[in-house]
Amino acid sequence: MTEHVDAQPRPDSLEPQRDPPEPPPATGLMDRLGRGPAPRLVIAVFAFALSVAAIFIALLGPSGLVSDIAAADRAPGLRGLLAAGLLLVPSILLPRLAAAVATRGRGQPLVTWCMAVSLLAAVVAAGGIAAREGLAIWIALGLDGIVGALLGPLVLSALYRRLAPAERLPGLAAALSAVFLGAGLGIGLAHVLLALPGGGPLLAAALVVIAGAAWWLTGRLATTTVGAPPADGELDLAGLARGGVIQAIDRMRARQAPWAAALGIGWFTGLTIVLLAYLPAAARQFLRGDALVEFSLIGLFGLGVTFGAYLALRLTRGEASAAWTPLALIVMIFAAFDAYGVSLGLPAAGEAAGPLSLFAVFAGEGAIRLGLDILFFAAGGGLLSIPLLVLAADPEDERATAHHYAILGMLVGLGGLGMLLAAMALAGLGLGLSGLLLVVALATLAAAPLALRLWPDHLFKQAAAKLLRFLFRVEVTGGHHIPADGTPVVIVSNHVSHLDAPLLAAFLPGTPHFAASAAVSRTFAARLMAKLIKLHPVDTSKPVAVKALIGAVEAGTPMVIFPEGRPTVTGSLMKIYEGPGMVADRAGAAILPIRIEGPQYSLFSRLGGKTHRRLFPKVTIHIQEPRRFDVPAGIAGRHRRQVVGNKLYDVMVEMMFESTDLDLNLWQALLRARTNHGGASPIVEDQERKPLTYNRFVMSTFVLGRALSRLTAEREIVGVLLPNSAGVAVTFFALTAFGRVPAMLNFSAGPSTMASACRTAKVKTVLTARRFVALGKLDEAVKAIGEVAEVVYLEDIRTKLSLGDKLWGLAAARAPRFFHGDAVSKPDDPAVVLFTSGSEGLPKGVVLSHRNLNANQNQIASIVDITGQDKVLNPLPVFHSFGLLGGLILPMLQGVKTFLYPSPLHYRAIPELVYETGSTMMFGTDTFLNGYARAAHPYDFYSTRYIFAGAERVKDETRRIYGEKFGVRILEGYGTTECSPVVAVNTAMQFKPGSVGRLLPAMRARLEPVEGIDRGGRLVVRGPNIMLGYFRPDRPAELEPPADAWYDTGDIVEIDDLGFVTILGRAKRFAKVAGEMVSLAAVEHEAADLWPDFAHAVVNLPDPAKGERLAMMTTCPDADRGTFSKHLHDRGLTELMLPKTIVHVAELPLLGSGKTDYQAVKQALGKG
């Protein structure tokens, strides 16, 4: 028993011994061999492997003492398993002892002692062979198993420690090659000698000579030592054999690479043991060869491993790297499957009379292929294993390296024994050798995830990027915006699919980390992608975890955080959490916005059933300029969090819009929408109840557009006098597709106004329909228009369409670029001419470009969650900018089906249509919405998500009715025709009652002071949706652009610190009463509060005493000045707001857009 010294620390706490000084320069051969550790250690493992292999064959080979071969076509049985167990089980049972010996026993004497025990085993085996006593050979195998369990970790750790980093790979390659070459030579030597008459004594003598020479040589070469031998009593063998294995494995797993490398070597060694055990049987069964053929196959395997080790040295240039692991595995997979295929084509052993010689066997093509497969499989294994032997070590801790190699030995034992047991079990179930080769091939294929895990991160990232680029045609824009390394930055991105993190990890430079919840970090998907995606787990319930995240950002770690917290289920931005903004704020980091576009249409998104998904949509990664939050000093706590959250929201929506491609006309945008949402998706429907899909709609536009192109000139402004219907949609896009500019005529404006509009835009042709003219009683209007332009009826065009036109339209719809060519209109060309309501005189023409309209619909889409499951009901006429953009252009370009209804005045029919069509979105004005609310059943709006209101202020009573009666929130917005039209809008995420929402992305505003008005200012805006300019009646078709690209809305507004806009009134809708400015809109608001169920209009009229006076027209029969005066007094408001005149009417005069016709009101009250 070894004495135990109480004062001695446990092995885990023992310090490694220092290396001795370097030896003097070598002179003789022995000195040169002994100068470094590699030669003697290689000799040791070579001799040991040769001796063990020879003893194994002497015991169990065809001529062995206890041959386990029952027939020529059988593989080793239970005795072979027992022999393998004697060799492998000690490595499984003694990893702790092996590690301790390797850690403390850094001296050459331990190698010599191991070889001495190996010599003892050889002597015992020689005696057994000479006396033909099997028990002695069993004992020898048991001794060699213990020696192998200790010698392996000792040699590997010694080579790793004593060799310079550049020499480690060659040294370990030499050791591994020595093992396989020694084993092959030992098997061959045993076969040859045992086949000779009296060969047993010769083999016994050879074993003793080889083992003795190895023992003597390793001892003789100990002129310099790997370390000093341990002192007496220094090792507590009993203590060393207990525990520590789990801890060592945990350390290896924590470092990932050593554990994966050890698993890879254990897996390959297990397959090697199975193949070496069954190759002799394969030589007999498949090739009908003799003992020399068996030796040749085993020799080929050993040569293959050596060649693979040589390749590893050349390809890695001496650097330990798993860069070639996938190539090695691919070679092994192909070789294994080819070997299985070859085995199926070879004849059975019974078809020949006896064993064939080596030359006879390899004269056949099948034998050569099988030999090459074995060679290449082994070469792949050598190429795989050599770098892994280095990677299994711990470069920072010598003691840990010894433990790692001991665990490696344990995994080798487990893998070899387990795979041998599995192979024998399968063979016992009737699976032949061909089937076992297939199992080996499948086991090789199953190692692919392990090979990828071992692959260097930068190579894995490059491969992932190339694969993703190939599949999804990934394009990255704005890469120059990425800050330099070490700059604190928080990367925020929209989250559209499960591909987002892999895309960012693959295409962003460096190694970005991804903040994720602790639960997500533990998922299988997270572990699977850990090679590419570096997660930073965060438990938000623990402040320490959040501080660690902030600290990582401060330290320069680029941190990716998805502010939405989950992949979108709408296709648009969802709720934005303030967390990423707060991390950037506290870390003093920049925000780098990145938009991922395209994966929402892939199968990796969560939009199944909501949008058209396909296998590999094009993906674009838009990297935008970094931004920093300018938070005013003194703001803290919850208020600071709210301000930062709003700024982050603005960054996200600006990112969504700014990354949108606006360099295309509306026709190109329609074709892109068809691609994104699917040509078979229904997109437009009207009262005819014949929905048009994208494909049919595009075909119809081609057919009609080609016919219209024969009647009009390119870039000509063409009048459109049509109601809301599929026909007006087709006509609009048909003109757009062929480079014409539609001018949408307001058919409610009266004959003279329509004729004036045609003159203002120099319209030569007006498109209409006879049926519409008859139903709308527009004969007088058509007559007035006919004096200015030619009126063309669509019915006449339809009758003149030829079969060729229809066939061309069908073909062009399938291949638009081939048949129609490039786009006729440029993005900045005029797209449509709309006309102002004429409440201030003759209507002006407002010219909007393709970019204006495309920008405005994308501005809305960037802040409103629009999905392919939405359905729009649009009763607003498309001659009005609100109806054109919201009810036609926006839904058609966003993949939303729109139902076009011809009149907003059918108060009973429209709620019924909402119910019948299951519409989820609707556009209207306060006047119309109020009418629908009075006529609708409470369940009519059951499917409605959003009702957008504009053109006039939404009364509180209207908002209350929709909330209480229908459970729907009205989202009020603001816009003007000149702004395409939307400027601001409330959304589900950004909502403030009484306001018109926040400005759209990319909109800039300034408030100019107005004399006499203390609150707010005159709103002047700028953005991509601002019109090209006006057509004035006095200068027809002469474009008058806005000054400096800014547009003066003429509205008095107030913008709060969160960006919400409140309309106070129009500058022209203020009256100067007794020298004080009074808002007419404010007076109307007070009247609505007093008489909420009625409509009111207030105008200013001249007054000789006070300059101006107020007059009100109302539908409330009980309205009177006395009641109004008391109401103003109770509210603490000035008496200047009291109308001097109140006139009762049944209905207020309205424009076609639903707005109050103040010009008519003023004329009526002025006459009174």
HEC secondary structure over 693-706: EHHHHHHHHHHHHH
Asked if residues 1016 and 1009 have their Cβ atoms less than 8 Å apart, the reply is: no
Burial class (CB in 10 A: 0-12, 13-18, 19+), 910: buried
Cβ neighbour number for residue 83 with a 10 Å cutoff: 22
Cβ neighbour number for residue 1092 with a 10 Å cutoff: 15
Distance (Å, whole) CA 914 – CA 179: 81
Asked if residues 564 and 494 have their Cβ atoms less than 8 Å apart, the reply is: yes
From 191, 403, 495, 536, the catalytic residue? 495
Closest CA to 1005 of 1040, 1044, 1047, 1042: 1047
Asked if residues 745 and 754 have their Cβ atoms less than 8 Å apart, the reply is: yes
Residue with tokens 């009262």: 687
28 residue type, one letter:
G
Provide φ and ψ at 1021, rounded to 5°: -125, 160
Asked if residues 1155 and 1165 have their Cβ atoms less than 8 Å apart, the reply is: no
**Start-to-end Cα distance in the chain:** 125
Write down the H helix ranges in 61-198: 78-93, 95-104, 108-131, 134-162, 165-195
Distance (Å, whole) CA 1010 – CA 1015: 9
Cβ neighbour number for residue 337 with a 10 Å cutoff: 18
The pairs formed by 993-998 with CB atoms below 8 angstroms and a separation of 24 or more are 993/959, 994/956, 994/1062, 995/1056, 995/1060, 995/1061, 995/1062, 996/972, 996/1061, 996/1062, 996/1063, 997/971, 997/972, 997/973, 997/1060, 997/1061, 998/1058, 998/1059, 998/1060, 998/1061
Cβ neighbour number for residue 6 with a 10 Å cutoff: 4
DSSP 52: H
Cβ neighbour number for residue 1097 with a 10 Å cutoff: 25
What are residue 899's DSSP bridge partners?
Answer: 685, 873
Is 495 part of the annotated catalytic residue set?
Answer: yes
165 alpha carbon, distance to own chain's centre: 39
The rounded radius of gyration (Å) of the Cα atoms in the chain is: 43
Distance (Å, whole) CA 845 – CA 1032: 7
Cβ neighbour number for residue 1068 with a 10 Å cutoff: 13
Distance (Å, whole) CA 109 – CA 117: 12
Distance (Å, whole) CA 49 – CA 122: 12
Distance (Å, whole) CA 233 – CA 799: 111
Asked if residues 939 and 980 have their Cβ atoms less than 8 Å apart, the reply is: no
Distance (Å, whole) CA 1162 – CA 1168: 10
Distance (Å, whole) CA 89 – CA 417: 8
Burial class (CB in 10 A: 0-12, 13-18, 19+), 815: exposed
**What amino acid positions are annotated as catalytic residues?**
495
